[in-house]
Amino acid sequence: MISYLLEPIKIGDINLKNRIAMSPMISNLGSPEGYPTDAYIAYLSERAKGGVGLIITEYTYINKLDSRGSVNELGLYSDELTPKFMRLTEMIHALGSKIFVQLVHAGRKTKRDVIWGNTPIAPSPMPLTDEVREMNLNDIRRIKQEFISASIRARRSGFDGVELHGAHGYLLAQFMSPAVNRRNDEYKDGVKLVEEIVHGIKESKTTVGIRLSVTEFDDLGLDPEDVAEIVKRLEKAGIDYVHLSAGRDGPMNSSMPFYYKHLSFLEEIESIRDKIHVPLFVVGSIMNLHDALKAREVADVVVLGRSLLADPYWLKKALTNEPIRPCIRCNQSCRGMVYREVRCDANPELGWEILPPMERGNGEVEVVGGGVMGMEAARVLAKRGFSVTLYEREDKLGGQFLLFKDPWKINEFNSIVDFYKNELERLGVEIKLRSEVNCDNEKCIYAVPEQRSPEPPEIKGKRILIDSTLYPYHDYAFYLAKDNEVYMTEDSLSILDRTRQFLLEENLKEAGVNFVQKATGNFDVIFNERVKDQPTIGKSIQRGYWLGRTFSLR
């Protein structure tokens, strides 16, 4: 069955070696000027080494006036940038993959300080964050030419094609969405602008696709039937492929957390599949091989996003049946990156691909701690060549993962414990459970977090208030609601990714938790710890990685 993912396919005039593509995802690994840094090239190169047929870059802005959405985003606004982009395309081609650049104008989905103090523009004066200016016809003509010029630069830079970002509430999506396009001129039909851009790009014989949201999760916005009509028109304009995602500006978006199903938008896409006559790319919580094969039944190309952040060698490992480091869909370090670089709670090497290979080691090493910190340290040490023994005082591995009460979290997060168990077995790490040792010699690493999560409280028949940003109390609310009257402040979840926050609140309400705006009233028990910085899975795994990477026997 995996052979269905390995079949070649022609997109426009470009031949892909297989049906796996890397999704465009913001990284902020570019330079402030918009060119790909060595760190960005190393980041994408690692995914090309993993065997994907196509890499689509992160969204790339088209002018240095009002199109940028994040501070170190890639930009193709000037010919001066093309030599730097050539370094990227040369490397990806040398590694056997094709590469498209995704072009974007952020429209109203940006801030003044990100676009050099200028005012965001949009089809209609409907602000999202900062005040926006309604575009006039000169603005529209300018933007159209900037997309076309950027596509010419892309071709000069060695890109195999371009993808227009027409999804997720960016400018082209703003034109196409009836929810935010309130114009009264010819561009009230926002698809007209996209058609004109596609015509202009095709004149230079460039392969061009478009990313669209199959649904905007909004009664006033685009739905699958609307999108089917848009695709019909863009096919006539010459579009070479369609890449379907979902979402606009609301809490429901393309990167669904673990509270949402795998293959997040497949049902909506299936409903219009027979109306699409160009190659179809599909993205959305495709986490494992089973998901990818299911998506391939609908799509011509399966697009992996966060899965390739968690493990760049996803495809190669699927072919060899090696343990794949899973994405746990926590949405904590790979989202909300206007001002910071991409990271992954599950993969401590993401963003550090530019580092030299780890030094080889030999000899025996003891690691104390069977949580994710200790397991990651043991994994790294074993890969370096050490003979590793891992000690855990409990009767199973997992550490503080064993305290989880949130059923969705248990289901998704335990996949990373299973990964470590399988990977440590593959690497020959000896595991000793119910064992405590004194870590007081140079051959021993103590890999236990300094801070421990509070234990699940044993409370029954009480009135409880949770006014805390600590993750464990979000988790324990499910448990406490079974035998208590539980209230939680809305602000308690404010540190979470917006989509995760929205869906967690919905699930907690279903479990019986009452949400309030303020912590007022009489309660028998109050949990009100508030922290800006707290222990996380990502920090524990990072700590384990660096303990293993920097360890040496003198």
DSSP letters spanning 503-525: HHHHHHHHTTPEEESS--S--SE
Q: Do the bridges between strand 14-16 and strand 280-282 make them parallel or antiparallel, or are there none, so unpaired?
A: unpaired
Catalytic residue of the set 59, 170, 259, 545: 170
545 closest CA partner among 352, 337, 416: 352
Indicate the residue type of 62.
I
425 closest CA partner among 378, 371, 473: 378
Secondary element (H or E) of residue 71: none
Q: Tokens standing for 246?
A: 């979902």
Question: Buried b vs exposed e over 303-330: b needs ≥16 C-beta within 10 Å?
Answer: bbbbbbbbbbbbbebbeeeebbbbbbbb
170 is catalytic: yes
- For residues 85 and 159, give the distance between their C-alpha atoms in angstroms, rounded to a whole number: 9
Dihedral of CA atoms 429, 435, 440, 443 in degrees, nearest 10, equals -10
Indicate the residue type of 71.
V
How far apart, in Å, are the Cα atoms of 3 and each of 39, 89, 252?
A: 33, 27, 33
Do 454 and 466 contact (CB within 8 A), yes or no? Answer: no
The residues near 460 (Cβ < 8 Å, ≥ 6 apart) are: 483, 484
3-state per-residue secondary structure call for 162-219: EEEEECCCCHHHHHHCCCCCCCCCHHHCCHHHHHHHHHHHHCCCCCEEEEEECCCCCC
- For residues 79 and 87, give the distance between their C-alpha atoms in angstroms, rounded to a whole number: 14
- For residues 458 and 179, give the distance between their C-alpha atoms in angstroms, rounded to a whole number: 48
How far apart, in Å, are the Cα atoms of 405 and each of 220, 261, 344, 408, 482?
A: 37, 19, 23, 9, 12
- For residues 548 and 551, give the distance between their C-alpha atoms in angstroms, rounded to a whole number: 5
- For residues 251 and 503, give the distance between their C-alpha atoms in angstroms, rounded to a whole number: 9
Active-site positions read 170
